Protein backbone atom coordinates (compact mmCIF):
# COMPACT_ATOMS: atom_id res chain seq x y z
CA UNK A 1 0.00 0.00 0.00
CA UNK A 2 1.37 3.42 -0.98
CA UNK A 3 2.63 5.51 1.92
CA UNK A 4 1.99 9.27 2.07
CA UNK A 5 5.18 11.37 2.11
CA UNK A 6 5.33 14.96 3.24
CA UNK A 7 7.38 16.76 0.56
CA UNK A 8 6.81 20.41 1.25
CA UNK A 9 5.23 23.18 3.26
CA UNK A 10 5.73 23.64 6.97
CA UNK A 11 3.82 23.37 10.18
CA UNK A 12 1.74 26.37 11.12
CA UNK A 13 2.55 28.50 14.16
CA UNK A 14 5.45 30.76 15.05
CA UNK A 15 8.77 28.88 14.80
CA UNK A 16 7.01 25.59 14.08
CA UNK A 17 9.06 23.51 11.68
CA UNK A 18 10.14 20.04 10.63
CA UNK A 19 13.71 21.27 10.20
CA UNK A 20 16.27 19.64 12.49
CA UNK A 21 19.15 22.09 11.92
CA UNK A 22 19.93 25.30 13.84
CA UNK A 23 17.72 27.37 11.50
CA UNK A 24 17.40 30.14 14.14
CA UNK A 25 21.12 30.84 14.28
CA UNK A 26 21.36 33.06 11.19
CA UNK A 27 18.29 35.07 12.15
CA UNK A 28 19.73 35.53 15.66
CA UNK A 29 23.27 36.62 14.77
CA UNK A 30 22.20 38.94 11.96
CA UNK A 31 19.52 40.52 14.14
CA UNK A 32 21.88 41.07 17.08
CA UNK A 33 24.79 42.16 14.87
CA UNK A 34 22.76 44.79 13.07
CA UNK A 35 21.24 46.01 16.33
CA UNK A 36 24.72 46.65 17.73
CA UNK A 37 25.68 48.53 14.56
CA UNK A 38 22.46 50.59 14.63
CA UNK A 39 22.96 51.56 18.30
CA UNK A 40 26.60 52.54 17.76
CA UNK A 41 25.83 54.48 14.56
CA UNK A 42 23.00 56.42 16.21
CA UNK A 43 25.17 57.25 19.23
CA UNK A 44 28.15 58.29 17.08
CA UNK A 45 26.00 60.39 14.73
CA UNK A 46 24.44 62.30 17.62
CA UNK A 47 27.78 63.22 19.22
CA UNK A 48 28.78 65.97 16.75
CA UNK A 49 32.39 65.78 17.98
CA UNK A 50 35.60 63.76 17.60
CA UNK A 51 34.91 62.90 13.97
CA UNK A 52 38.01 64.64 12.64
CA UNK A 53 41.72 64.32 13.37
CA UNK A 54 44.45 66.00 11.32
CA UNK A 55 43.20 65.03 7.87
CA UNK A 56 41.12 62.02 8.91
CA UNK A 57 37.35 62.30 8.61
CA UNK A 58 34.91 59.72 9.95
CA UNK A 59 32.77 58.26 7.13
CA UNK A 60 29.66 58.80 9.27
CA UNK A 61 30.27 62.56 8.92
CA UNK A 62 31.23 62.68 5.27
CA UNK A 63 30.55 64.93 3.46
CA UNK A 64 30.59 67.70 6.08
CA UNK A 65 27.97 70.23 4.96
CA UNK A 66 28.23 72.45 8.03
CA UNK A 67 30.59 72.42 10.96
CA UNK A 68 30.87 73.85 14.43
CA UNK A 69 34.63 74.18 15.03
CA UNK A 70 34.03 74.93 18.71
CA UNK A 71 33.16 71.23 19.22
CA UNK A 72 36.10 68.99 20.14
CA UNK A 73 37.46 67.05 17.17
CA UNK A 74 35.20 68.84 14.68
CA UNK A 75 36.14 69.47 11.05
CA UNK A 76 37.65 72.90 10.35
CA UNK A 77 35.46 75.43 8.57
CA UNK A 78 37.56 75.11 5.41
CA UNK A 79 36.60 71.45 5.14
CA UNK A 80 32.82 72.04 5.37
CA UNK A 81 31.06 72.43 2.03
CA UNK A 82 28.91 75.32 3.24
CA UNK A 83 30.96 76.58 6.18
CA UNK A 84 29.52 77.11 9.67
CA UNK A 85 26.04 76.02 10.73
CA UNK A 86 23.75 78.86 9.64
CA UNK A 87 21.68 80.61 12.29
CA UNK A 88 18.54 79.95 10.22
CA UNK A 89 19.09 76.20 10.56
CA UNK A 90 19.85 76.45 14.27
CA UNK A 91 16.64 78.45 14.77
CA UNK A 92 14.36 75.77 13.32
CA UNK A 93 16.27 72.72 14.57
CA UNK A 94 14.32 70.75 17.24
CA UNK A 95 16.00 71.29 20.60
CA UNK A 96 15.78 67.60 21.59
CA UNK A 97 17.99 66.49 18.65
CA UNK A 98 21.69 67.47 18.78
CA UNK A 99 22.63 69.45 15.67
CA UNK A 100 25.35 67.14 14.41
CA UNK A 101 26.80 67.21 10.86
CA UNK A 102 26.17 63.46 10.60
CA UNK A 103 22.41 63.84 11.10
CA UNK A 104 22.22 65.85 7.88
CA UNK A 105 23.77 63.22 5.64
CA UNK A 106 23.29 59.72 7.09
CA UNK A 107 19.87 59.32 5.47
CA UNK A 108 21.66 58.93 2.11
CA UNK A 109 23.65 55.75 2.79
CA UNK A 110 20.97 54.43 5.17
CA UNK A 111 18.28 54.69 2.48
CA UNK A 112 20.46 52.46 0.30
CA UNK A 113 21.29 49.88 2.97
CA UNK A 114 17.80 49.61 4.41
CA UNK A 115 16.23 48.93 1.01
CA UNK A 116 18.94 46.46 -0.08
CA UNK A 117 17.46 43.08 -1.05
CA UNK A 118 19.81 41.29 1.34
CA UNK A 119 19.00 43.59 4.29
CA UNK A 120 15.29 43.15 3.64
CA UNK A 121 15.75 39.41 3.74
CA UNK A 122 17.51 39.48 7.09
CA UNK A 123 15.33 42.04 8.85
CA UNK A 124 12.10 40.50 7.66
CA UNK A 125 13.44 37.26 9.14
CA UNK A 126 15.17 38.51 12.29
CA UNK A 127 12.85 41.29 13.42
CA UNK A 128 9.47 40.72 11.75
CA UNK A 129 9.66 36.91 11.57
CA UNK A 130 7.61 36.75 8.40
CA UNK A 131 8.90 33.99 8.50
CA UNK A 132 12.16 33.67 10.51
CA UNK A 133 13.64 31.09 8.09
CA UNK A 134 12.71 28.89 5.13
CA UNK A 135 10.16 26.19 5.96
CA UNK A 136 9.62 27.66 9.44
CA UNK A 137 6.32 29.08 10.63
CA UNK A 138 6.19 32.86 10.97
CA UNK A 139 3.93 35.51 12.41
CA UNK A 140 0.39 35.58 11.01
CA UNK A 141 1.20 38.81 9.18
CA UNK A 142 2.66 37.30 6.04
CA UNK A 143 5.34 38.90 3.92
CA UNK A 144 3.54 40.87 1.25
CA UNK A 145 6.51 41.99 -0.79
CA UNK A 146 6.77 45.55 -2.08
CA UNK A 147 3.14 46.42 -1.52
CA UNK A 148 1.21 48.92 0.63
CA UNK A 149 3.61 50.94 2.80
CA UNK A 150 6.53 48.73 1.75
CA UNK A 151 6.26 50.04 -1.79
CA UNK A 152 8.87 52.62 -0.75
CA UNK A 153 11.43 49.81 -1.00
CA UNK A 154 11.35 50.41 -4.74
CA UNK A 155 13.49 53.51 -4.23
CA UNK A 156 16.47 51.15 -3.94
CA UNK A 157 17.29 51.41 -7.65
CA UNK A 158 17.52 55.21 -7.22
CA UNK A 159 19.41 55.20 -3.92
CA UNK A 160 22.05 53.20 -5.79
CA UNK A 161 23.17 56.50 -7.35
CA UNK A 162 23.52 58.03 -3.88
CA UNK A 163 25.66 55.07 -2.80
CA UNK A 164 27.87 55.39 -5.88
CA UNK A 165 28.31 59.12 -5.17
CA UNK A 166 29.31 58.33 -1.59
CA UNK A 167 32.02 55.98 -2.78
CA UNK A 168 33.56 58.82 -4.82
CA UNK A 169 33.33 61.18 -1.81
CA UNK A 170 34.87 58.63 0.55
CA UNK A 171 37.73 57.96 -1.88
CA UNK A 172 38.31 61.73 -1.93
CA UNK A 173 38.44 61.70 1.89
CA UNK A 174 40.86 58.79 1.78
CA UNK A 175 43.16 60.53 -0.70
CA UNK A 176 43.34 63.77 1.29
CA UNK A 177 44.05 61.74 4.43
CA UNK A 178 47.50 61.06 2.94
CA UNK A 179 48.32 64.75 3.25
CA UNK A 180 48.47 66.90 6.39
CA UNK A 181 49.24 70.63 6.36
CA UNK A 182 50.52 70.27 2.81
CA UNK A 183 52.87 67.41 3.69
CA UNK A 184 52.36 64.04 2.04
CA UNK A 185 52.56 61.06 4.37
CA UNK A 186 50.83 57.93 5.51
CA UNK A 187 49.24 56.76 8.71
CA UNK A 188 47.27 53.76 9.91
CA UNK A 189 44.20 55.98 9.67
CA UNK A 190 44.83 56.77 5.98
CA UNK A 191 45.02 53.05 5.18
CA UNK A 192 41.82 52.38 7.14
CA UNK A 193 40.10 55.25 5.31
CA UNK A 194 41.28 53.89 1.96
CA UNK A 195 40.03 50.36 2.62
CA UNK A 196 36.60 51.72 3.61
CA UNK A 197 35.32 52.92 0.20
CA UNK A 198 36.93 49.89 -1.45
CA UNK A 199 34.82 47.53 0.66
CA UNK A 200 31.77 49.75 0.07
CA UNK A 201 32.45 49.52 -3.68
CA UNK A 202 32.51 45.70 -3.47
CA UNK A 203 29.15 45.85 -1.69
CA UNK A 204 27.59 48.50 -3.95
CA UNK A 205 28.83 47.03 -7.23
CA UNK A 206 27.33 43.67 -6.25
CA UNK A 207 23.92 45.31 -5.88
CA UNK A 208 21.14 43.67 -7.88
CA UNK A 209 20.15 47.07 -9.27
CA UNK A 210 23.74 47.74 -10.37
CA UNK A 211 23.85 44.31 -12.01
CA UNK A 212 20.74 45.21 -13.95
CA UNK A 213 22.22 48.59 -14.83
CA UNK A 214 25.32 47.09 -16.44
CA UNK A 215 23.84 43.96 -17.99
CA UNK A 216 20.08 44.38 -18.11
CA UNK A 217 17.81 45.03 -21.11
CA UNK A 218 20.19 43.31 -23.48
CA UNK A 219 18.85 40.52 -25.67
CA UNK A 220 22.24 39.50 -26.97
CA UNK A 221 25.56 39.62 -25.14
CA UNK A 222 27.68 38.94 -28.24
CA UNK A 223 26.04 41.01 -30.96
CA UNK A 224 28.21 44.13 -30.67
CA UNK A 225 31.44 45.29 -29.08
CA UNK A 226 29.56 47.32 -26.50
CA UNK A 227 27.33 44.36 -25.62
CA UNK A 228 30.43 42.17 -25.21
CA UNK A 229 32.01 44.77 -22.88
CA UNK A 230 28.82 44.97 -20.85
CA UNK A 231 28.79 41.18 -20.65
CA UNK A 232 32.34 41.22 -19.26
CA UNK A 233 31.41 43.82 -16.62
CA UNK A 234 28.19 41.96 -15.84
CA UNK A 235 30.17 38.78 -15.14
CA UNK A 236 32.42 40.62 -12.67
CA UNK A 237 29.41 42.28 -11.03
CA UNK A 238 27.72 38.86 -10.84
CA UNK A 239 30.76 37.53 -8.96
CA UNK A 240 30.37 40.31 -6.38
CA UNK A 241 26.61 39.75 -6.35
CA UNK A 242 27.07 36.08 -5.43
CA UNK A 243 28.88 37.27 -2.24
CA UNK A 244 26.59 40.22 -1.60
CA UNK A 245 25.81 39.18 1.96
CA UNK A 246 29.52 38.89 2.78
CA UNK A 247 30.31 42.36 1.39
CA UNK A 248 27.24 43.82 3.11
CA UNK A 249 28.56 42.72 6.50
CA UNK A 250 32.26 43.36 5.93
CA UNK A 251 31.65 46.87 4.57
CA UNK A 252 29.17 47.71 7.34
CA UNK A 253 31.49 46.56 10.12
CA UNK A 254 34.45 48.35 8.55
CA UNK A 255 32.62 51.66 8.23
CA UNK A 256 31.71 51.43 11.93
CA UNK A 257 35.28 50.56 12.92
CA UNK A 258 36.59 53.43 10.78
CA UNK A 259 34.45 55.89 12.70
CA UNK A 260 35.56 54.32 15.96
CA UNK A 261 39.23 54.58 14.98
CA UNK A 262 38.99 58.26 14.01
CA UNK A 263 36.98 58.94 17.18
CA UNK A 264 39.48 57.25 19.50
CA UNK A 265 42.47 58.95 17.83
CA UNK A 266 40.71 62.32 17.99
CA UNK A 267 39.92 61.79 21.68
CA UNK A 268 43.53 60.85 22.38
CA UNK A 269 42.57 57.39 23.59
CA UNK A 270 44.83 55.75 21.01
CA UNK A 271 47.77 57.11 19.02
CA UNK A 272 47.78 56.94 15.25
CA UNK A 273 51.05 55.62 13.83
CA UNK A 274 51.93 57.98 11.01
CA UNK A 275 54.76 59.78 9.26
CA UNK A 276 53.63 63.22 10.48
CA UNK A 277 54.22 62.44 14.13
CA UNK A 278 50.90 63.91 15.24
S1 LIG B 1 20.53 44.64 -3.49
FE2 LIG B 1 21.87 44.95 -1.83
S3 LIG B 1 22.72 46.86 -2.27
FE4 LIG B 1 21.27 46.60 -3.89
Nearest-5° Cα angle at 129, 40 to 150: 80
> Is the sign of the CA dihedral 124, 170, 235, 245 positive or negative?
negative
Structural domain span for residue 233: 24-267
Res. 183: pLDDT tops 90: yes
pLDDT in tens, 1-44: 555 555 555 667 888 899 899 999 999 999 999 999 999 999 99
| 30 inside domain | yes
> Greatest CA separation found in the chain?
87
Is 116 near ligand 1, meaning CB less than 6 Å away?
Answer: yes
Res. 90: pLDDT tops 70: yes
- Give the residue whose CA is nearest to atom 4 of ligand 1: 207
| 3 inside domain | no
- Give the residue whose CA is nearest to atom 2 of ligand 1: 116
Which atom, in ligand 1's list, is nearest to the CA of 113?
3
| 194 inside domain | yes
183-184 and 179-180 strand pairing? antiparallel
| 135 inside domain | yes
Q: Ligand 1 center to residue 107 CA distance, Å? A: 16
| 6 inside domain | no
pLDDT in tens, 54-82: 999 999 999 999 999 999 999 999 999 99
d(CA 122, CA 128): 9
| 71 inside domain | yes
Mean pLDDT on 142-163 = 86
Inter-helix orientation angle 225-242/208-215, to 10°:
170
Number of domains in the chain: 1
d(CA 70, CA 19): 58
Tell me how far CA of residue 73 lies from CA of 23, 27, 183, 256, 264, in angstroms. Answer: 45, 38, 20, 17, 10
Q: What is the pTM of this model?
A: 0.91
Q: Which of 122-131, 176-185, 234-243 shows the lowest mean pLDDT across its residues?
A: 122-131
CB-based burial label for 220 (10 Å; 0-12, 13-18, 19+): exposed
Is 207 near ligand 1, meaning CB less than 6 Å away?
Answer: yes
Nearby residues of 97 by Cβ (< 8 Å), 6 or more positions away: 46, 103
Number of other CB atoms surrounding residue 67 within 10 Å: 24
Q: Ligand 1 center to residue 257 CA distance, Å? A: 21
| 276 inside domain | no
Amino acid sequence: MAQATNVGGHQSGLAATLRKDNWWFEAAWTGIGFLIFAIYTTWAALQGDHYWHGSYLSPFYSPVFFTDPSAAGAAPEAHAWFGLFPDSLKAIWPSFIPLSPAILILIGPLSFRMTCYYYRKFYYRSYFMTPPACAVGGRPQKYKGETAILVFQNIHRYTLYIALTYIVILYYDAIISFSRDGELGIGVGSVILLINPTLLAFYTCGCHAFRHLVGGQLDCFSCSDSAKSRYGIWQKVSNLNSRHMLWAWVSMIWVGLTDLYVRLVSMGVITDLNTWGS
